[in-house]
Amino acid sequence: MEIKFENVSYIYSQGTELEKYGLSDINFKIQSASFTAIVGHTGSGKSTLIHQINALLKPSKGNVRIGDDFIINNEITGKGLKPLRQKVGMVFQFPENQLFEETVLKDIMFGPLNFGFSKKEAEDSAYYWLEKVGLDVSLADKSPFELSGGQMRRVAIAGVMASNPEVLILDEPTAGLDPVGQKEILALFKDYQHQGHTVVLVSHDMDIVANYADEVLVLEAGQLLRQEAPQTLFQDEKWLHQHALNQPKVTAFAQQLAAKGFKFESMPITMAELVEVLTPKLGGKLAEDG
């Protein structure tokens, strides 16, 4: 589903002395079935922004449109929220807080049951996603609170995906997972996108952004500074430096080679791209040495 922000502002503690803009006049469009990353420093408004997409926070000004079905503004009321939240699933920044049932299975089934799946459908979906997120079936009957942090995170992810939301919103979903676990979970999200779902992911990790996102939004102090392909953003070393944002590791490495006289037509942003540009150069060298 397409997501559109039209002049969206969000004001915390509106009308009090503590009034503070979390978002200021944000405009953008995210295409259906795309994978969009949101980056920015801590406090830049990333969580505030994604919370508008399922009306956890309602815009103080402006509209958020989800497909042709939903308009979220400060007038939306309780009735419209349930169908919206079925379409827009959200894994929170601290998903451990999302768990509350007695067992892992019940926790994952909660969303599907709430959105009208039959008990059998909810259970099938729960077991399917339990396995997909890399958890052993034997954990189904455990209390979610007996699990490790990484396992809890996987349960929370399964619990959201089990309702099959059309839009999947993820706030730093792989923080705290080991590198292999991170890759598995990110591949799962990428697969989900390829099945036609829209994925929005908040991340501080530019390598994740470079490897998985089609587009990236850059936030700073509640304002949207840029929206473009990661390949375009990460070329702009000077701008990133001015805004104290990192490049992917591969790009930083290529930058150092460039400083030593290596010529790149465009800076690689992923390992695969780096290998692609270096192979013709090193290939000749290897043959000579051999």
For binding to ligand ATP (CB under 6 A), which residues are involved?
A: 12-13, 20, 22, 40, 42-48, 93
Please, are residues 73 and 7 in contact by the beta-carbon 8 Å criterion?
no
The only residue of 24, 34, 47, 231 in contact with Mg ion, by rule CB under 5 A: 47
Residue listed under structure tokens 């470079």: 210
Shortest CB 276 distance to ligand ATP, Å: 33
- Residue 7 φ/ψ, nearest 5 degrees: 50, 50
Number of amino acids touching Mg ion (CB under 5 A): 3
Closer Cβ to Mg ion, 47 or 143, answer by number: 47
42 binding partner (options ligand ATP, Mg ion, none; Cβ < 5 to 8 Å by kind): ligand ATP
| Strand, helix or coil for residue 198 | strand
Closer Cβ to ligand ATP, 246 or 255, answer by number: 246
Strands (E), the chain: 3-12, 20-30, 35-39, 61-66, 70-72, 88-91, 167-171, 198-202, 215-220, 223-228
Closer Cβ to Mg ion, 50 or 269, answer by number: 50
Question: Does residue number 221 form part of the binding site for Mg ion (CB under 5 A)?
Answer: no
Pull the structure tokens for residue 27.
């405009």
Q: Which residue(s) pair with 26 in the sheet?
A: 8
Task: From residue 264, give the alpha-carbon distance in Å to each of 217, 251, 274.
Answer: 25, 11, 10
Closer Cβ to ligand ATP, 28 or 127, answer by number: 28
Shortest CB 92 distance to ligand ATP, Å: 11
231 binding partner (options ligand ATP, Mg ion, none; Cβ < 5 to 8 Å by kind): none
**Segment contacting Mg ion by CB under 5 A, of 43-51, 54-62, 159-167, 247-255:** 43-51
Closer Cβ to Mg ion, 37 or 135, answer by number: 37
Please, are residues 52 and 8 in contact by the beta-carbon 8 Å criterion?
yes
Closer Cβ to ligand ATP, 43 or 83, answer by number: 43
163 binding partner (options Mg ion, ligand ATP, none; Cβ < 5 to 8 Å by kind): none
Spatial distance between the Cα atoms of 215 and 87, rounded to a whole number of angstroms: 21
Shortest CB 169 distance to Mg ion, Å: 12
Shortest CB 100 distance to ligand ATP, Å: 21
Closer Cβ to Mg ion, 51 or 85, answer by number: 51
Which residues in the 59-118 window bind Mg ion by CB under 5 A?
93
Q: What is the number of other CB atoms lying within 10 angstroms of the CB of residue 58?
A: 16
Shortest CB 43 distance to Mg ion, Å: 8
135-140, long-range: CB < 8 A, 24+ apart: 135/104, 139/104, 140/103, 140/104, 140/105
Spatial distance between the Cα atoms of 276 and 280, rounded to a whole number of angstroms: 8
Please, are residues 64 and 72 in contact by the beta-carbon 8 Å criterion?
yes
Shortest CB 236 distance to ligand ATP, Å: 21
In the complex, which residues of this chain contact Mg ion (CB under 5 A)?
46-47, 93
